[in-house]
Amino acid sequence: MNKTVPETREFFKELVSLVKDATDVDIVVAPPFTSLYAAAESVKDTNIKIAAQDIFYEEKGAFTGEISPAMILDCGCSHVIIGHSERRQYFNETDEAVNKKVKAARSNGLGVIFCIGESLAERESGKTFDVLKREIEKGLENIAGDNIVVAYEPVWAIGTGRTAAPSQAQEAHAYIRDRLRVLYGNKAEENRIIYGGSVTPENVDSLMACEDVDGALVGGASLKVESFVRLVKFNTEAV
């Protein structure tokens, strides 16, 4: 929940020129609903895509405050984040609701950034893989794997300054890859698995050097253009 419309325009005015040469990565920015249209206008004909932070699973109707897939598309989005840990934690979003949202997004042609991850208590009690297995199986039930990006975001590392060590991230991502193979067979190799959890310019290189880490879901470090550009232009050779 950051950036007004004027702040969004200013952000992209600076960002666009600084990442125009970053042709070997996909850049997707997810502003709040109120700034989506302005963001999409700002990145037209650039290498930056826009995502919504959430979606509702009905097309229209008496659902006050909700945003439909058609509305998100109309704003110029190509992707949507679904199942973010904050949606699960603060708004009691269930695996079943996440599944409905993923289905609605995919049926409308939106790319999905599907978030999963365990809490600190679940990690400390050895339930990390159980949580990931449940969230993958229930969240992606009866959904084809095309245009699904899985974001592993350990809840204990969201906005806390704590980050999973590269070895912890790799272990979780490798497990997620195995679970996707169960669902999608060899096509699971095409699914990107990205890491989210206090990703910063200081740790991005080591995280991106992990075999099964295909990108990053960035929070606070994306709010300032300078730090976000550094993340876009990560350098695994520096590790």
pLDDT (tens digit per residue) in 144-156: 999 999 999 998 8
* pLDDT confidence bin for 239, thresholds 50/70/90: confident
Determine the average pLDDT of the residues in 24-40. Answer: 98
Lowest-confidence region among 137-146, 153-162, 229-238 = 153-162
Q: Is 19 within the bounds of a domain? A: no
Statement: residue 198 has pLDDT above 90: no
Whole-angstrom Cα distance, residue 200 to residue 222? 9
DSSP for 157-185 reads GSSSS----HHHHHHHHHHHHHHHHHHHG
Q: Which helix (H) or strand (E) covers residue 16, if one does?
A: helix 5-19
Residue linked to tokens 């169960």: 182
Cβ-Cβ contacts under 8 Å for 50 (sequence gap 6 or more): 28, 29, 30, 31, 36, 39, 40, 43, 75, 76, 77, 78, 79
* pLDDT confidence bin for 238, thresholds 50/70/90: confident
Q: Is 24 within the bounds of a domain? A: no
Statement: residue 162 has pLDDT above 80: no
Statement: residue 94 has pLDDT above 90: yes
- Answer with the residue of higher pLDDT: 124 or 102: 102
Q: What is the pLDDT at residue 55?
A: 98
Whole-angstrom Cα distance, residue 22 to residue 26? 8
Mean pLDDT of the chain: 96
178: domain CATH number is: 3.20.20.70
Q: Is 115 within the bounds of a domain? A: yes
- The identity of residue 181, as a single letter, is R
Q: What is the pLDDT at residue 163?
A: 75
Q: What is the pLDDT at residue 82?
A: 98
Which structure tokens are listed for 52?
Answer: 């919504």
* Nearest alpha carbon to residue 54 among 86, 19, 17, 28: 86
Determine the average pLDDT of the residues in 17-33. Answer: 97
106 by DSSP, 3-state: which? helix
How many domains does the structure of the chain reveal? 1
Q: Is 20 within the bounds of a domain? A: no
Cβ pair 43, 66 in contact under 8 A: no
Q: Is 13 within the bounds of a domain? A: no
Q: Is 23 within the bounds of a domain? A: no
Statement: residue 218 has pLDDT above 90: yes
- Residue 175 lies in domain: 51-238
Q: Is 4 within the bounds of a domain? A: no
Which structure tokens are listed for 177?
Answer: 């890859």
Supply the residues annotated as catalytic. 84, 153
Q: Cα–Cα distances in Å, from 42 out to 67, 89, 125, 153?
A: 21, 32, 46, 28
Report residue 13: phi and psi, to 5°: -60, -35
Q: Is 163 within the bounds of a domain? A: yes
